Structure 1
Amino acid sequence: MSHDLESHVHESARAARSAALDLRAVPRAAKDAALHAMADALVAHTEEILAANRVDVEAARTAGVGEHIIDRLRLDADRVAAMAQGTRDIAALPDPVGEVVRGSTLANGLQLRQVRVPIGVIGMIYEGRPNVTADAAAICLKAGNAVLLRGSGSAAASNAAITGVLRDAVASTGLPADAIQAIDPSDRSSSTALLRARGLVDLVIPRGGAGLIQAVVRDALVPVIETGTGNVHVYVDADADLDMALDIVVNAKTQRTSVCNAAESLLVHKGVADEFLPRVVAALREREVTIHGDEAFRATDESVVAATEDDYATEYLSLDISARVVDSFEDAVAHIRTYSSGHTEAIVTRSLATAQRFTAAVDAAAIMINASTRFTDGGELGMGAEIGISTQKLHARGPMGLPEMTTTTFVVTGDGHVR
């Protein structure tokens, strides 16, 4: 990594820190005005953004990138409109800054409040999903933070266009444009420089595949929240409503395959396997899903591919799913404990007791009972656009919205108290 590149990234981080300090005292009305200006600007500059996106998509196709990756990269007018609406939705959410998490009057008369405050400077390192640029900028701004956006080279033109539009919109409302900055992705070392900006960057959030997240965690000198990798299971219990189970499996796998909350593995209790396997295999085949299954699934249909150990550990992000028949609830839990990435796990069952056992036994950021795994999403859970889905346990877990982009300060008020 060149000294000039590191200096440039750190210069951006210093500008972001100055902007973050200014944002700490900005009232909600001013932040919301900036968010509405950002949303309006995204819509007004749709054609400019789409033109830049076409450059990225064409380059990806020329490079032979898979369609599931291009689906993440591609924008259209509806997706830009959704980005704008997500920004307006964030403006409508309560401002977490200033919220009293807890408060009391101590026995000695001191008044204690623990209050939410902005984290400061957030670094985002993410792969080719341009919508993340707008989502991250809006969430960070609403929570009073500045953000340094280091997207992938595959989305460089799209991200540059979006960032430029957002910066101009923020500046038009009187807030510092440097609250939103893009880090040049043309040199991979820019990520390393961001990860080493200890004292300038308060938190880094990687959003992408397992390789990206592991690299960030390995190289970072600043705190990191791990996000996203989703080896997600659906377990169809012996007491499942099989019509419901079929709908959930098909939705969880096929509604959108290139996202972290899509199902990647199917477990079926042997008590319902004879009835359920032919139905689910036919339904998935109809939607062109390749099933990587055990002997029971292979015996159901010759199109089923033999599953390997690697299949059960794989986040496909494509029209593929691993599948296995389990002898018991305990076997299902053991399988999930072995292969789960801790993102989302689902059970389909009519037994309340079994659902409760599953919730207690499975360690994941989200657990779905008789619902598709696709609901692990900030927008679907009423949180507005999310900045990512944390699969770790400190300080945030699951979909991260506005409260997760704050930390706290203890405010202690006395009347001449001394210790």
Structure 2
Amino acid sequence: MTKNTDIKAMMTDIGVRAKAASAILAYATPDQKQQALNLAADAIWDQRDRIIDANALDMDFGRAKGLSDAMMDRLMLDQDRIRGIAEALRAVAAQDDPVGAVLADWDRPTGLNIKRVRTPLGVIGVIYESRPNVTADAGALCLKAGNAVILRGGSESFHSSGAIHACLQAGLRAANLPTDAVQLVPTRDRAAVGELLTMVEYVDVIVPRGGKGLVGRVQSDARVPVFAHLEGICHVYVDAAADVEKTRAVVLNAKTRRTGICGSAECLLIDRAFYAEHGAPFITDLINAGVEVRGDQTLQEIEGVVAAGPDDFGCEYLDMIIAAKIVDGLGDAIAHLQEYSSNHTDCIMTENADVAAEFFQKVDSAILMHNASTQFADGGEFGMGAEIGIATGKMHARGPVGTEQLTSFKYIVTGDGTTRA
């Protein structure tokens, strides 16, 4: 077994090398970073058979660990998903380089010119579970934004992440950039996470991407600033003025497209007036699709709906389960969201523009949807190429964290022998 002293020494070495690499990346050219990412995408596609073989080892590990079907789906890689990983790398490569972008430019009466300019954050630690594609997404986004990154994947994705990481380093090497710019912690030992969370000398920000347990530990133990993404308790509110067929399509997609992602709908709120006029055909659709619907007393009138317990509202199932309840109008729906939403993604289905506007104004979630599936809560779908996670806090970054959110800024002040009176 690896000793804690060995883990500390290993993590310190990783931190030192990441810090040195970040200093080089800060002035790497846009062409170099683009080349590194495109070559990494080439390597991932060329090595797809090797990545799938590595993933098979992880799938065996996950089955032995007793992972749920939804978690196994998050873990699984096939040729189509590997193609998607490569395409995401190319999409990030093609984006405008954020580093050096002028955010504001103004002159002062003193004769000074002041510019606010994007700069890299430095070194980012990313701690994640299960999904091996995060290895590529996080590595690509951090690199594009001029940051070095230390990746600590979950024990379930150990082999898959290692194979993908090797491709990222191949791209860096071919573009004449330091391979230490993207490092993967080479152990499943949880002591490595504890070290990473306290490496204030080397790490500028931590991004956790995983379940409540992981994120809670990171927020509790970290001495490094954290971009928080706690849970995806996503709601769909069906307003009195909702279109029935649009709602049926959106609700079914929001829950069943992929149940194991943080944008999956976990709770339905149905306006009483809508239910009185139209019923809830989308609930029958969900039941027919194999979803267990846990409803309040009114909704238990629908065949197949089971009784919701006290813990069902405010639960992130990440499975073929959804909670549902009747609410008395928008105000009641908003009150429910204030109590149970995780401020990740919430949706309103309505044809009333004024009601939608009020929902947008009064609901304080990172992403708000109108007549659109919560499954669109994804940086790739936002045009960011990929995302490092969905930040649900309110400091610095909120919503999908892409390249721009992985930068800070500095002020460039220019005078001409200017002195202050």
Q: The TM-score by the shorter chain falls in which range?
A: over 0.9
Deviation at 1:276, TM superposition (A): 3.9
CA distance in 1: counterparts of 2:277 and 2:70, whole angstroms: 32
Query: Residue 174 of structure 1 is aligned with which of 173, 176, 181?
Result: 176
1:266-281 equivalent positions in 2, closer than 5 A: 266-281=268-283
Contact preservation (8 Å) 1:228, 1:388: no
Contact preservation (8 Å) 1:252, 1:262: yes
CA distance in 1: counterparts of 2:184 and 2:411, whole angstroms: 33
Residue 359 of structure 1 corresponds to 360
Contact preservation (8 Å) 1:228, 1:389: no
Residue 162 of structure 1 corresponds to 164
| Runs of 4+ displaced beyond 4 Å | none
CA distance in 2: counterparts of 1:256 and 1:318, whole angstroms: 9
CA distance in 2: counterparts of 1:381 and 1:177, whole angstroms: 29
Code of the residue aligned with 1:363 in structure 2: it is D
Deviations 1:88-135 (CA, angstroms, capped at 9, x unpaired): 001110000011111111110111000001111000000010000000
Residue 419 of structure 2 corresponds to 418
Deviation at 1:4, TM superposition (A): 2.1
Contact preservation (8 Å) 2:35, 2:171: no
CA distance in 1: counterparts of 2:318 and 2:289, whole angstroms: 15
Residue 153 of structure 1 corresponds to 155
Query: Residue 52 of structure 1 is aligned with which of 37, 51, 54?
Result: 54
CA distance in 2: counterparts of 1:37 and 1:277, whole angstroms: 54
Residue 312 of structure 2 aligns to a residue whose secondary structure is: helix
CA distance in 1: counterparts of 2:280 and 2:200, whole angstroms: 55
CA distance in 2: counterparts of 1:264 and 1:10, whole angstroms: 40
CA distance in 1: counterparts of 2:267 and 2:223, whole angstroms: 35
Deviation at 1:309, TM superposition (A): 2.1
Deviations 1:269-311 (CA, angstroms, capped at 9, x unpaired): 111113544412210111100001001111122x212112210
| 1:372 maps onto 2:343 in alignment | no
Deviations 1:16-62 (CA, angstroms, capped at 9, x unpaired): 11011001111101110111110000011111111110000011112
Residue 230 of structure 1 corresponds to 232
Contact preservation (8 Å) 1:98, 1:116: yes
Deviation at 1:136, TM superposition (A): 0.6
Contact preservation (8 Å) 2:21, 2:180: yes
TM-score by length of 1: 0.98
Residue 257 of structure 2 corresponds to 255
Deviation at 1:360, TM superposition (A): 1.1
Residue 306 of structure 2 corresponds to 305
Structure 2 unaligned segments of length 5 or more: list them.
none
Query: Residue 217 of structure 1 is aligned with which of 212, 219, 223?
Result: 219
Deviations 1:303-348 (CA, angstroms, capped at 9, x unpaired): 2121122100100101100000112221111111110000011101
Judge which range, 227-236 or 174-183, deviates more.
Answer: 227-236
TM-score by length of 2: 0.97
Contact preservation (8 Å) 1:290, 1:304: yes
CA distance in 2: counterparts of 1:76 and 1:15, whole angstroms: 33
Residue 381 of structure 2 aligns to a residue whose secondary structure is: coil
1:74-93 equivalent positions in 2, closer than 5 A: 74-93=76-95
Residue 319 of structure 2 corresponds to 318
Deviation at 1:368, TM superposition (A): 0.4
Count how many residue pairs are aligned between Structure 1 and Structure 2. Answer: 418
Residue 126 of structure 2 aligns to a residue whose secondary structure is: strand
Structure 1 228/42 Cα, relative in aligned 2: closer, same or farther at 3 Å?
Answer: farther
Residue 310 of structure 1 aligns to a residue whose secondary structure is: coil
Residue 340 of structure 1 corresponds to 341
Seq. identity, %: 43
Judge which range, 161-170 or 329-338, deviates more.
Answer: 161-170
CA distance in 1: counterparts of 2:351 and 2:265, whole angstroms: 20
Q: What is the RMSD of the two structures over their aligned residues, measured on CA atoms?
A: 1.1
Deviation at 1:417, TM superposition (A): 1.9
Code of the residue aligned with 2:281 in structure 1: it is R
Residue 65 of structure 1 corresponds to 67
Code of the residue aligned with 1:215 in structure 2: it is R
Residue 372 of structure 2 aligns to a residue whose secondary structure is: coil
Residue 298 of structure 2 aligns to a residue whose secondary structure is: helix
Residue 204 of structure 1 corresponds to 206
Deviation at 1:137, TM superposition (A): 0.6
Code of the residue aligned with 2:356 in structure 1: it is A
